[in-house]
Every structure is written in C-alpha cells, then in structure tokens.
Amino acid sequence: MNVHSSISQLTPVSPVFLPLYNWKEVSGAIQRLETALERAILQRFGSSGMMFSMWSATGSLEERWQDDSLLLSQVDAHALTNSLREKVVPILTPHFTVPGCDGGMCGRQILVSKSGSIRTIEDLLGRGLALSRRDRAMAHHALKKVLPMPPHGEAAFSSLIQTDGHVAAMRAVTEGQVDFCCVDAVAWAMAKAYRSDVADQLLALATTPKLPAASWVTSASRSAAEIECIRDAAISVLSDPAVGAARDALFIGGYSLMNPAEQLLSEDVVAS
C-alpha cells in the first residue's frame, strides 16, 4: 500500500533519529535505516509543503521528542506512557529477533560477573545494581517481577548506579563497581555480537518477564493523514530488501502495530 498526503500548509520536518541502540559499532546500520525511513516518508509527503530544519546540536533527546517537527524517532514504553504521552503518537513497534524478545515484547537480562559468586536470584538482594538511566523505570519494573523484594521501606539493594547506557551498566559489573546489572535483551544481544570484550566477562543469570519494547513515534501534532503516511513508509522500509543488511545488524525482524500504552496502562510501571 502506498499512502500519500495531500498537505496544503507548511509541515515542520526534522531528520529521523533512532537513538536507543545507536552504538558506534552499528552506527552505519542506524544511519542507513534512518536515511531509508526519511526518504520513504518524504516521498509520501510530496515534494512541496515542507519546512525542513536540522536538530540543534545542543538540544536534549527530550527536547527533540517534544518538538512539533519530530518526524520519526524511537522511545521506550515508559516515556511513551508518561512524560511523552501528550507529545508523541506510536507508529509501530519493531520486533527484535533475539532471545528474550517475542513480537513487540522484550525482557531484561540480569547479568553478573563470571568471576563472582552470585549464581541465584536470591543472591541479588542487598547487592549493588547498575541500570541504564534511560531504561531505569522499565528495568526496575521487570526486576520486581522476579526478585523476592523485601518488606516495604527496606532497601532491596546496597547501592544503585544509573549509567549513561547499557554498556556502561555492564562495565560497572565487570569493573567491580556493582554486583549485577539489568539490561534489555536487545542490548545484551548487541553486546555479545559487538562488545565481546565486555560480554565475555558476564553471565546471564536470568531473563525477566517481557514488557513492551521501544516504539517508533512521531509528533502528536501531526495530522491523521501525515501519521498514516509515516506508518506506511515505516512498514515499507521494514520489508525493503535493500535495507535488509541494516535491519539484520540491528536484529530487527518484523513489526506490530501494538500501542505499548495500552499494554502498560494496567501496570504500575506507568506511575513509577
């Protein structure tokens, strides 16, 4: 299906960006995917009526996600149901072909040092934990599903480090800063594929129950016609053989139109 927008006024447009798994080891694949998505979307928008602007070099991700010019990006389910709930709308949820993920759902991997003594879930209570700052809410919710948490008011962990990304959380374990980390299944698969220097020192102790994976989103200020154009373009790119190598490098295989907000509204993670 090819959908084209009949837009009669200037439409604000900024470059597509997919930041959540944009590691330097796969930056080329990310760039090829972003370029393909941008090209497909702009083709459907038409050759006129667009007001294109580049992102500020100093702006934060949160500022970009809340900008009316947002064309397509990627946010986690917690942000989608909380801080960005009125700012973005989901387009689709990519499926990741890695252990721990199924359809639009992904679990978290609890990782410990291979050289350490922790070998059971029960051993984790009272130990030091590292989480990626951006995944903190989802990871904490996942942990509550598998750990025998202490009574209310008692600390579950001796320390909690919030890191700038999943690899930094893993390194906090390998460097002895904490006893374990909890990272999403996609990040663990990427670490094993692209960061063996870190992954080879870690043991996957357990996989948590699955939660909604990160979704591709656009600005909530866009018209229904624009949203449909963007969704049609994204679907076409996810089935385009020319982008197959980039998708494979990122472990993307398929998609669903599920809305993570609907999956999480009944979960206490929404208010976390």
Taking only the tens place, the pLDDT of each residue in 141-162 is 899 889 877 766 567 899 999 9
In the sheet that holds 159-163, the strands lie side by side as 159-163, 128-132, 180-184, 108-113, 202-207
Cite the residue boundaries of each domain of the chain with CATH code 3.40.190.180.
11-96+213-271
Say if residues 228 and 139 touch (Cβ distance below 8 Å): no
Residues of the chain with pLDDT under 50: 6-8, 269-272
For residue 148, what pLDDT is reported? Answer: 78
pLDDT at 7: 46
Distance CA(181)–CA(202), nearest Å, equals 10
The reported pLDDT for the residue numbered 9 is: 57
Is residue 182 classed as helix, strand or coil in its secondary structure?
A: strand
One-character DSSP codes across 49-98: SEEE-PPPTT--HHHHHTSTT--SEEE-HHHHHTTTTTTEEEEEEEEE-S
Q: What separation in angstroms does the CA of 197 have from each of 9, 32, 167, 171, 181? A: 52, 26, 11, 10, 16
* Cβ atoms of 23 and 64 closer than 8 Å: no
pTM of the complete model? 0.89
**CATH number of 11-96+213-271: 3.90.1300.10, 3.40.190.180, 3.40.50.410, 3.40.30.10?**
3.40.190.180
At 261 the pLDDT is 63
CATH code for the part of the protein at 108-209 = 3.40.190.10
pLDDT of residue 160: 93
Task: Give tens-digit pLDDT for 69-122.
Answer: 999 999 999 898 889 999 999 999 999 999 999 999 999 999 999 999 999 998
Q: Give me the pLDDT at residue 8, please.
A: 45
The predicted structure's pLDDT at residue 147: 87
* CATH 3.40.190.10 residue window(s) in the chain: 108-209
